[in-house]
Structure 1
């Protein structure tokens, strides 16, 4: 298990002095981003599109269906673990293996991003509790989010509401920096060193939202869930701000990759 340190105690803003938008021919942008998905039909959505636009290939793996995860991220620019219908508390071997594997990017201090389930797995790896809402409430739809001072220092212009699809939340891990708060689920975003956990779903495209709202009927019947028409009505209001925030966030997140490591791996 990773030995925690004070590496997350000081807020370090994302780099703003240079643009990292580049073509895939740039030697320091040839390393792929490791993408971990949990369903056969899942895609990296808007996050995958944004990373490709920055020049990063995607190394997509599905451990649930037998794909191995690397022993090091020396040949990757970073890693993103996405969401899924399962729980970080499930006893399945692949869930436990993924949680254990997160120790690698933490130890190597590489850019790591957990989305919803991925954030809950990161929280579990760091020793925090993951659990359903005590009253059985869920967040399915758009809900308000409030960045902390640390969150604004890292990435300004947070959207007023963000898209959610979950029934569990997590405690703030020891040594982590709270970046954003919510209502029924107070911990919405946190940072631990170069690792970030987001309880919400900035990755969701319009097509993904359509699939989720037509196939996720069980979740949408639970307390707190919004009906499908509200999802699309609020997307028209809040999606542009969430999309702009995501681009800014990913620019700074991936820039944390050690330049020397990327050059070595690209050779």
Structure 2
């Protein structure tokens, strides 16, 4: 039977975007579950990979939704099912694997950091060697939308760091990855987010669009390469 990728949305507006485009181009079967619409996070044992997207929840929440989400992610880790988490999906990965979620020292929102420069993330020595970043530069301009961050256990690997929020890309085991930034963002998604997300509503819409346009080509190429690398790691 053909392997499928399970994609889990924590809020309806935060979909897989560019990742979905890459999956379609590769002809890979996938299922999208929207927890925001009351759908259940299914058992992961029959999926070839699991992707968990962003959302406004905290991995520290004690809701039944979050308890179930963390339990399913633990199943993926324990079964060595390839995993990719984005934003909240990073935080739930770290929480499920025994790490800690805390308030970020800097609330990172948008494209521009507190010093007026693009938010960037830099690969560590381990990141430079990891297949997730094959064919990519060692520094990336990124988009952020988070107020919490992660503290790692000793057996987690830090692959990329930021200036204001250090732990940006994390690896758990041999094939579970989490990214704090959003490389799935498309022009259609940014249009929706800047009109609906409470944190982005506080920023200048015109400026956000200009910030995205300024880096969009490189951003897209990086996202496509990164997502294709993950699919290879997942053996699709």
* TM-score, length of structure 1 as denominator length: 0.77
Q: Name the CA shift for 1:82/1:62 in 2 (closer, same or farther; >3 Å).
A: same
| Structure 1 position 217, deviation (Å) | 3.9
Are the equivalent residues in 2 in contact too, given 1:126–1:174 (CA < 8 A)? no
Distance in 2 between residues matched to 1:258 and 1:212, nearest whole Å: 32
Choose which of 176, 190, 198 in structure 2 pairs with 1:195: 176
What stretches of structure 2 of length at least 5 have no aligned partner? 112-118
Higher relative contact order (CA 8 A, sep 6+): 1
Choose which of 206, 215, 220 in structure 1 pairs with 2:187: 206
CA RMSD of aligned residues (A): 2.1
Indicate the residue corresponding to 1:152 in structure 2. Answer: 128
SS at match of 1:138: strand
* Residue-by-residue CA offset, 1:122-144 (whole Å, 9 max, x unaligned): 0101121112224xx31111211
Q: Which structure: greater strand fraction?
A: 2
Are the equivalent residues in 2 in contact too, given 1:140–1:166 (CA < 8 A)? yes
Q: How many residues align?
A: 224
* TM-score, length of structure 2 as denominator length: 0.86
Task: Please state if 1:94 is matched with 2:94.
Answer: no
Are the equivalent residues in 2 in contact too, given 1:159–1:245 (CA < 8 A)? no
Q: Which has the larger radius of gyration?
A: 1
Distance in 1 between residues matched to 2:179 and 2:69, nearest whole Å: 17
Distance in 2 between residues matched to 1:241 and 1:258, nearest whole Å: 26
Distance in 2 between residues matched to 1:218 and 1:163, nearest whole Å: 13
| Structure 1 position 71, deviation (Å) | 2.8
Are the equivalent residues in 2 in contact too, given 1:159–1:242 (CA < 8 A)? no
Task: Please state if 1:47 is matched with 2:19.
Answer: yes
Indicate the residue corresponding to 1:216 in structure 2. Answer: 197
Distance in 2 between residues matched to 1:191 and 1:122, nearest whole Å: 9
Choose which of 57, 60, 69 in structure 1 pairs with 2:41: 69
Indicate the residue corresponding to 2:157 in structure 1. Answer: 177
What stretches of structure 1 of length at least 5 have no aligned partner? 1-26, 260-267
Indicate the residue corresponding to 1:14 in structure 2. Answer: none
